[in-house]
Chain A
Amino acid sequence: MSDDDWLVLPGTDRTPVSIGRVVTSPATIGTFVLLVVPFALGWLKSALFSPLALPSYVLYGIGTAIGDAIAPRFDFWLYWIPFLASCVGISVTIGFGYEWWRERADDDSSERL
């Protein structure tokens, strides 16, 4: 297994978490689904907007406000691309945090045994 298959927290040499584990983590997948699905439903039909879509509504809305101020020629649907990229970034960050926390919890419990 090569070195870049592992994510190591800065300033530590322990509790590495594999990229594969982060990407397939329930925390990563759950976050991604929660960010994308409620917003996509509202996008398809306004009546399907719900409070669950609020985080993505804010993220997408602010993205378009900034984008429109600096590059007004783009259609708003193009903002789906940076929006989805942001959702991936947020999901992976949360998934990494969750897997790292689980790893540490496992280490701590095995040390106590």
Chain B
Amino acid sequence: MRRRTILAAGSALAGTVAAGFVSQPSGDHRLLTAAREPGDAGETNTNTERLLPGTVHETRLHEIDAPRDGPTAMVFGGIHGDERNGIAVAREITEWHPDAGTLVVVPETDRVAVENDEREGVDGNLNRHFPADREPVSELARGIWDAVETRDPDVVLDLHRSLGIYDFHRQYVGQAVFHSPDAHGDALADALDDDSVPWYLPFHRFTARETDLSGPLLFQKAARELEASTYLFETTEFLLDQPTRNEMTRLAAARVLELHGLLETGGDA
């Protein structure tokens, strides 16, 4: 009797476990395919250059020109060196093929922090180095800001991860999209929920929050001074493994490019 009960429970479990929620096909496949493969208009053209050459911070910037004119988007990974989803996905994005505009990617923004696998580099938390009405406060921040100003992007996306969930765990900001007032934060959060959060993980649904532009974060400075539409994306380590965090980050990046016209997914076809 008892053995049968346990066997029955075991097979019920085995039978109901899904094949993997983020790998389930939906609109996201078309989106990621559009990101990874050249469109009909032709090939992209990539240039790589070094930021802060000859310094301890030296890092690579990749500039991908699409065959058609369009907006310029900048994507940053590794502003915090231990948030590996942003670094891994930004490295992938250097191989993407936008359909229009220019895609600029810096995968290891604080390279010392990335190499040490630590949140902060030699001068502390890089994402507090961009205060209002002042120069960026470190050599690294000034170098990064020079690169941003030169490109004058229309869109900026900064990739992060937290340990908990925003509005659920008091001290954490995971599963959230912080954005400038004119950005498509709600549309991005809704799309991520549809593409990557199953109904049975309700606490993991994404929250969109308009950010106060007076703060010292890179995406706040870019919105404040360049009037770019900017996003800071956060996933969470809470109950999500690395492949899942990467997939959510990948989908967030592709969706931002689509929302701002750099990627075409061919409508509803």
Contact = CB atoms under 8 A, between A and B. Distances in A.
A58 to B, nearest CB: 8
Contacts, number: 93
A103 to B, nearest CB: 16
- The main secondary structure of chain B at its interface with chain A is loop
A47 B198 CA distance: 10
B17 A50 contact: yes
A48 B20 contact: yes
A38 B201 CA distance: 13
A89 interface: no
Nearest to A61: B203
Interface stretch (A9-17, A24-32, A105-113): A24-32
Contact of A68 (B5, B13, B169, B203): B169
Interface in A6-63: 24, 26, 29-30, 33-34, 37-38, 41-43, 45-54, 57, 60-61
Interface centre among B169, B199, B239 (most CB of A within 10 A): B239
B163 A33 contact: no
A24 B9 contact: no
A52 B164 contact: no
Q: Which of B10, B200, B238 has the most CB of A within 10 A?
A: B200
A64 B237 CA distance: 13
B55 interface: no
Interface in A75-94: 76
Given A54-B200, A68-B169, A76 B17 contact: no
Contacts of B164: 64, 68, 76
A69 interface: yes
Chain B interface residue bracket vs A? 35 or more
B239 A43 contact: yes
B21 A37 contact: no
Nearest to A45: B241
Contacts of B134: none
Contacts of A45: 241
Nearest to B240: A46
B6 A64 contact: no
**Nearest 7 pairs between A and B by C-beta?**
A47-B20, A26-B5, A46-B244, A68-B169, A51-B200, A50-B17, A54-B200
Given A46-B22, A57-B203, A65-B168, 8 more contacts: A26-B1, A29-B6, A38-B13, A42-B239, A49-B198, A61-B203, A72-B170, A76-B164
